[in-house]
Structure 1
Amino acid sequence: MNPTTTALVLIEFQNDFTTEGGTLHGAVKDVMDKEHVLDHARQAADAVRAAGGAVLHCPITFAPGYGEITAHPYGILKGVVDSSSFVRGGWGAEICQELTPVDGDIVIEGKRGLDAFGSTNLDFVLRSKGITTVVLAGFLTNCCVESTMRSAYEKGFEVITLTDAVGATSVEEHDSAIKFDYPMFSKPMSTDEFVAALGADRELADASRGY
């Protein structure tokens, strides 16, 4: 895990999920509170920045009226439309205060579906920066995070998922995805484990360069 070839990808840390008053906050609040998701995501972001890695934000947004998707959505996107979530220009679609992008962060635009690679230039940005290790955090554990995890795995990246920096609409769904699906397509680890490994690898890399 060379920090300079590592990117933390933060998926949908937006007010509609993360913040009191958000349209979907009530659905994910239990898991957020149980796992201390925002604290762990911020811890990971600070560690990656300090080590010289990249932090990428992948929000999802839609124009008012949701013209970018089918007029008859079903599944998770129907829930987004029915709850009027992630409308571009609205407070709910904004990245939450706790994870506001800082100078040097990259905001990936164009996410309209589940897989963060699907309708964006995420793959191009990662490869152009020489990224080989992708670290995932965000929402939902068993939806957009898992979809992105599977694609990253298929694309040949080393994939790490931060098990306490992801959130779902129920503890059962969250725990099930982490137990059964995540090990198939990633290296699941806690934020503390990731930060420790990142620091150890940074020290080894510095030592090899004579720092």
Structure 2
Amino acid sequence: MDPRKTALLLIEFQNDFTAEGGAQHAAVQAVMRQTDMLAHSQAVAAEARRRGVTILHAPISFAENYPEIPAEPYGILAGIVQSRAFRKGSWGAGICVEMSPQEGDIVVEGKRGLDCFASTNLDFILRQRGIANLAIAGFLTNCCVESTMRSAYERGYRVVTLTDCVATLSPEEQRASIEKNFPMFSLPLAHGAFLAGLEPARAAA
């Protein structure tokens, strides 16, 4: 893959997921530890950035009292409301220090649901930059990562899902998504294999 035509999308690396005291951290910490996904995500972001890959951050946030969500939410959005997670301006909604945006990174604004394409200008950004290859990392494996993966696949991007840079609520859900669903709509790769597939000579050009 040509780094100049490749983007790395980092979904919801926010304190509410990644940090002790985060509203959703206890729910995902076991799977995070299982694959050391935060350290792997740091490593892949740093090296991909160095090679000229476009780095995009896609945090989610809601106004106080969650007016963007239906009055009687269900499913994953109900869990967000109940735990008071991802409130705009709160510590929990902030991108964690380990994955802080660096100079040249792009923060995608407007994410309010599961699919990163649905309520943002992500597709516009990717096409304006001539991106053909989209690698995805973050939370939750079987929710926002998978929803975004499917949308990217439908839009004609060459999609890579970074199997050791994602986490969800249980090992069973993690395994089912990676083994059964990821291969249908993406190229599932560990972060090292993704980096090995970049073209270093062209990245330096």
Could you tell me the TM-score, scaled by structure 2's length?
0.98
Q: Which residue of 1 aligns with 2:32?
A: 32
State the alpha-carbon separation in 2 of the partners of residues 94 and 128 from structure 1: 27
Partner residue of 1:167?
167
Any stretches of 5+ residues in structure 1 without a counterpart? none
Unaligned runs of 5+ residues in structure 2 are: none
**1:9 is matched with which residue?**
9
Tell me the alpha carbon deviations over residues 114-141 of structure 1, each in whole angstroms, 9 at most, x when there is no partner: 0000000000000001100000000000
The equivalent of 1:47 in structure 2 is 47
Q: Quick one: distance in 1 between partners of 2:105 and 2:11?
A: 14
Cα RMSD (Å): 1.1
Report the AA paired with residue 202 of structure 1. P
CA distance in 2, matches of 1:120, 1:85: 20
| C-alpha distance in 2 between matches for 1:206 and 1:175 | 33
Give percent identity, aligned residues only: 56
Q: Could you say which residue in structure 1 is the equivalent of 2:125?
A: 125
**Alpha-carbon contact 2:2-2:203 (below 8 Å) kept:** no
- Residue deviations 1:45-64 (CA, integer Å, cap 9, x gap): 11111111100000000000
What CA distance in whole angstroms lies between the structure 2 residues aligned with 1:159 and 1:81? 31
Could you say which residue in structure 1 is the equivalent of 2:62?
Answer: 62
Q: Deviations over 1:131-190 (max 9, x none)?
A: 000000000000000000000000000000000000000010001100000000000000
Separation in structure 2 between the aligned mates of residue 64 and residue 5 of structure 1, nearest angstrom? 38
How far apart, in 2, do the equivalents of 1:48 and 1:132 lie? 15
Distance 1:32 1:99 in 2: 15
> Does structure 1 residue 155 correspond to structure 2 residue 155?
yes
Cα 1:206/1:107, change in 2 over 3 Å: closer
Structure 2 CA distance for partners of 1:183 and 1:84, relative to 1, 3 Å: same
Alpha-carbon deviation of 1:24? 0.4
Report the counterpart of residue 200 of structure 2 in structure 1: 202
SS of corresponding position for 1:159: strand
Secondary structure at 1:10 match in 2: strand
1:78-130 CA-to-partner distances (Å, cap 9, x unmatched) read 00000000000000000000000011000001000000000000000000011
Deviation at 1:206? 6.4
SS at match of 2:92: helix
Q: Give the Cα separation in 2 of the matches to 1:131 and 1:206.
A: 14
Work out the CA distance in 1 between the residues paired with 2:112 and 2:203: 40
Q: Does the residue aligned with 1:91 lie in a helix, a strand or coil?
A: coil
Partner of 1:80: 80
CA–CA separation in structure 2 for the residues paired with 1:47 and 1:122:
22
Deviation of 1:192 after TM superposition, in Å, equals: 1.1
Query: Within 2, Cα distance between the matches of 1:66 and 1:145?
Result: 22
- The one-letter amino acid of 1:159's match is V
Alpha-carbon distance in structure 1 between the residues aligned to 2:63 and 2:45: 29
